[in-house]
Structure formats: structure tokens, C-alpha cells
A and B are shown apart, each in its own frame.
Chain A
Amino acid sequence: DAKTTQPNSMESNEEEPVHLPCNHSTISGTDYIHWYRQLPSQGPEYVIHGLTSNVNNRMASLAIAEDRKSSTLILHRATLRDAAVYYCILSAQRGGGFKTIFGAGTRLFVKA
């Protein structure tokens, strides 16, 4: 199965942009790239997803490399509330349904 690789942790200053990288070199053609984040003592929360094209929503942007072997989650202006563990996940089609493949996540620290 394909897997994702992320840095263990990253640090950012408040109000600055944050770029969280993810490598998924063994991704398959139909696998979607999802990002979730987990705040302390909560379940993961959906952030964004994409297949081939870059995506924007109210929370973040997702930049996907042309060969799809890597992607970057972009938080345009980090706030203290963005401090969380960010997971880059592949959502893979298998046998008529789908399964999710979690990586270890990146813990984002945001400094005031």
C-alpha cells in the first residue's frame, strides 16, 4: 500500500504563512490526497483534499506536485488555534470502496 511521509514537527510565527510538506511517492493514480488536523483531545477534522489540481478552501490551500508524489498544505496566516497535528492521508480506492492510509503527522507549533 502507498504511504505518506511528513516531518515530525514544524514551528511558525503567528500571522505568517505555513507550508506543511508531505511525500507520497508510491501514490496510485486514483488515490486522493486528504489533509486532516487533530487538536488536543479531539478527533481529526477534515481540512482539504485534492486529486491532481491545486485546491483552495476557507481553511487552507493544497498544492499538489505535477507528478503527484508530493503535496503541500498551506495555511495562509497561522493563528494560535492552528496549533495541531496535521495528517496527510491517502484515500485509496480498493475493490469498489475505499480505505484511508494515515501517516504519522506533523505537529505544528505556533508562536505568538
Chain B
Amino acid sequence: GEEVAQTPKHLVRGEGQKAKLYCAPIKGHSYVFWYQQVLKNEFKFLISFQNENVFDETGMPKERFSAKCLPNSPCSLEIQATKLEDSAVYFCASSPLGTDSSYEQYFGPGTRLTVT
């Protein structure tokens, strides 16, 4: 498709429950990024993929967060045992393959996760 799709739009979980978010990147794009946006507007980079390979996971709280991008499937971001501070909007973005960093990212509409 021509747009990045994210599901679900809203997700509510009780503290300690699992949350799984999905992202379908634009067809033909090789890079996928996940970001977390909390109330202050600031985006926190979580993880990026180059095709199905993790490219950069320096932003991931590894003890509870995991992500995958498998061939012919939507990418996913999973949070085991959610905490109140995980409440945020999670954005996925995709970008075409390039040899430099000049390519724009196309963002999805986000998934709003509320942990109660």
C-alpha cells in the first residue's frame, strides 16, 4: 500500500498485561522504525529494521520490549508486562532503501496505548 498502516488505533491494557502493536510498512520500503511519543511531544526512538534484520535497537528497553519484521507479515512491537509509564502513542515509520540518510520517513497514524 501507499500508506503505513498501524493497528490497533487504541489499545488499553491493565498493568502487567501484554500489549502487541502492528505495523504494515509501505510496499517496497526496506527500513522500518518504531518510536514512542509521550505527552511532552518528544519522540523516543525504539528500534529500526532493515528488511527483517534489526538495524538499531539502542532505544529498546530489552527486558520487556521486543519487535519483529518477518517477511510477508506486518511488523510487530510487543510489550510484556506493561507498566503505567508505557502509556504513549507508538508510531511506526517506513523508508525506502538508500545509500545515504537523505530518505524521508513515512509515518503511520500511531497506536495509542493506555496502561491502567
| A interface list, Cβ under 8 A from B | 30-32, 34, 36, 38, 42-46, 49, 51, 85, 87, 91-95, 97-105, 107
Residues of B within 8 A of A99 (CB): 45, 48, 55-56
Cβ–Cβ contact B107 & A45, under 8 A: yes
**Can you name 21 A-B pairs with beta carbons within 8 Å?**
A30-B100, A32-B100, A34-B104, A36-B107, A38-B41, A43-B4, A43-B93, A43-B107, A85-B41, A87-B43, A94-B56, A97-B48, A98-B31, A100-B33, A100-B105, A102-B35, A102-B42, A103-B42, A104-B40, A104-B42, A105-B42
B109 on the A face (CB < 8 A): yes
User: Which residues of chain A have C-beta atoms less than 8 A from B65's C-beta?
Assistant: none
Assign chain B's interface to a size class. 20 to 34
Given contacts A97-B50, A104-B42, contact A43 B100 (CB under 8 A): no
A-B contact count (CB 8 A): 71
Q: How far apart sit A107 and B40, CA to CA, in the bound complex (Å)?
A: 11
The distance in angstroms between the C-alpha atoms of A60 and B108, with both chains bound, is: 22
User: Do the beta carbons of B101 and A32 come within 8 Å of each other?
Assistant: yes
